[in-house]
Amino acid sequence: MKYAREGSSKQTRVPMNNNVLIVPNRFKDQYEFEYVIDLQDKILVDAGELNLSRVTFVEPYSMLSLLLMGRNYLRKSGNKLKLAGIPINIHQYLHRMDFFKTGVFEVPERLNEKLLLKRSSFSNRVLEITEIPNKERESVRVISTIVGVFRKRASHILKYWLTDRIIDYFVTVISEICQNIYEHSLDSGYLAMQTYSIGKENIVRLSIGDSGIGILKSFENYDIKYDSPAHLMELALTTPISSKREFGYGLCQVNAIVEKLKGSIYLRSGNASVSTLYHKKGAGSSFNFQKNELSNFDGTQISISLMG
Amino acid sequence: MVIAIKKKAEELKIKTPDLITRHMGRSIYGSIRNVVEHISDGETLVLDFDGVKVIDSSFIDEMIVKLIVDSKTARQAFYIKLKNISAIAETNIDLVFRSYSNYKNKKIVVITENICQNNVFYIGPLSDQERDVVEFLRVNKSISVDDIVKFTGWTKDQVKKTMEDLDSMRAVKKQDNDVYFPV
């Protein structure tokens, strides 16, 4: 039996059996998922199979990031990463979110059809995983479709926050972030959205991710001063800088909307992240966090959440 | 001249109510640009957004900003006025115009038919003085430089500079005899 260290936790070790890696139960939010990203090198080099038996909950950001990890594996090895030991509730959720439809993973265990979640009963609170192509014309068509589906389901997805204006805000956010994928990443990406509850807290989370060139590389020929990769990402959120035009509005606009809605935005690219918790702003505590020297994870991933 | 944007989008087979992405902005701009070729000197082009909900920054940059730049540089001077703009569209236009004005060091504004969220009839970063003049003109329909001097108490040079700036932004219409009209 081999063991892999679980992220920065020096005490916990994850058993690794030959080329099977038992994945830690770290899919509850973007911060916990860092432990899984820490294992990425082992996954890409050593593991041909991920055992998810310990996973009890998966939220959209972690799901998309696992998907990107699987796609990186497929691109590097030419083989599909095997997913095994998936608990029934996780299997139901991933199936419902069209996770397996992406064709990135090999899943030997099939879920009994009777156990599949009915689309009609659960559809209203999610936007299933959708691939955003890296070509403008195709991407525009996909973005329009996503926005159309979102408008139809918005009263359910945003049930706890519903106003006329919030739907329009989210349409703007979806549009701006999806366009960043084909404009800047040079790769296709994925989007997913879901409303869920943890205890008494309701959370709506929109997640978008790609494995493209990332923010740092995107700005490498741009004359802008920054102290660290996370600082550059902070600038991308707060000032209308662009790597493609004289100036850009997308991320800046998204950040302004998240602030208006008192939500939170998490941006990760390469080995850095920025997290801004507007719902904590004004409460006397810190609400903006920059991290550098994280484990590298290609591309850019964004998670936008409202809590209520 | 009034252009119904929803209708224009439908002619181009673009789904509404949301006009998003640079691609859509470029398509609608191209279509309107053809119409603008035939506009009369000094005419106001009203862009009616009735039935449109969200327009994002990419669309605004490719369509509205370009038309405003055209209005200043075209052989035939023309003016732009927005009608039936949704709250989110107004917010997005304002952010784009403020970023553009900061980074180009050149103000960009647009007059609106309907009152905006901040109780004025324009979107963009005008100074308090410029705002007062635009609002005065909207109510009083025409004004001369001398009238503005009396109304504001500013020097004649200050007034001339302000009015020239507003005229170059296409926020007011200037006549030969130093009389100004609302857009």
Task: Answer whether 0.80 is exceeded by the pTM.
Answer: yes
- The answer to whether the Cβ–Cβ distance between A171 and B22 falls below 8 Å is no
Residue with tokens 């009034």: B2
So what's the pLDDT on residue A205?
97
Yes or no, beta carbons of A171 and B86 under 8 Å apart:
no
Instruction: For residue A279, give the DSSP letter.
Output: G
Could you give the ipTM of this predicted complex?
A: 0.89
Which pLDDT value is given to residue A5?
47
Tokens, residue A257: 């909307």
**Closest C-alpha among B106, B107, B108 to residue B65:** B108
Q: What is the pLDDT of residue A4?
A: 46
The model's pLDDT over B142-155, given as tens digits with 9 standing for 90+, comes to: 999 998 898 888 99
Phi, psi of B82 (to 5 degrees): -100, 140
As given in the structure block, the two tokens for residue A15 are 């058993």
Beta strands in B27-105 (DSSP E): 44-48, 79-83
Please report residues of A whose CB lies closer than 8 A to that of B58: 175-176, 179, 249-250
- Sequence-ordered list of residues with C-beta below 8 angstroms from that of B166, at least 6 positions apart, any chain: B130, B133, B134, B172, B180
**Using 50, 70 and 90 to split pLDDT, how confident is the model at B100?**
confident
pLDDT score, position A240: 78
Can you read off the two tokens belonging to residue B145?
Answer: 């430089």
Residue A47: per-residue pLDDT: 86
Tell me the nearest-neighbour CA distance from B162 into chain A, angstroms: 28
> In angstroms, what separates the C-alpha of B126 from chain A's closest C-alpha?
20
With CA atoms as reference, report the closest residue to A93 among A49, A62, A131, A59: A59
Residue numbers in A near B22 (CB within 8 A): 136, 179
Q: Which of A59-63, A196-200, B62-66, B168-172 has the lowest mean pLDDT?
A: A196-200
Could you tell me how many CB contacts below 8 A there are between chain A and chain B? Answer: 69
Q: Which residues pair with A300 in a beta bridge?
A: A269
Residues of A in contact with B103 (CB under 8 A): 240, 246-247
A252 touches chain B (CB under 8 A): yes
For chain B, percent of residues with pLDDT exceeding 90: 78
The answer to whether B116 and B87 are in contact (CB under 8 A) is no
- Region for residue A288 given its phi and psi (left: phi exceeds 0; alpha: psi -120 to 50; beta: otherwise): beta
How close B54 comes to chain A (CA, Å)?
6
Read off the tokens for B170: 């296409």
DSSP A182: I
Nearest CA distance, B170 vs chain A (angstrom): 23
Strand A81-84, strand A49-51: pairing = parallel
pLDDT, one tens digit for every residue, chain A (308 residues): 344 444 444 444 444 445 899 999 999 999 999 999 999 999 988 888 999 999 999 999 999 999 999 999 999 999 999 999 999 999 999 999 999 999 999 999 888 888 777 776 556 899 999 999 999 999 999 999 999 999 999 999 999 998 879 999 999 999 999 998 988 888 999 999 999 998 899 999 999 999 999 999 988 877 888 999 999 999 999 887 776 666 667 898 899 999 999 999 999 999 999 999 998 887 677 799 999 999 999 999 999 999 98
**CB atoms B18 and A253 under 8 Å:** no
Point out the residue among A176, A240, A256 whose CB comes nearest to the CB of B56. A176
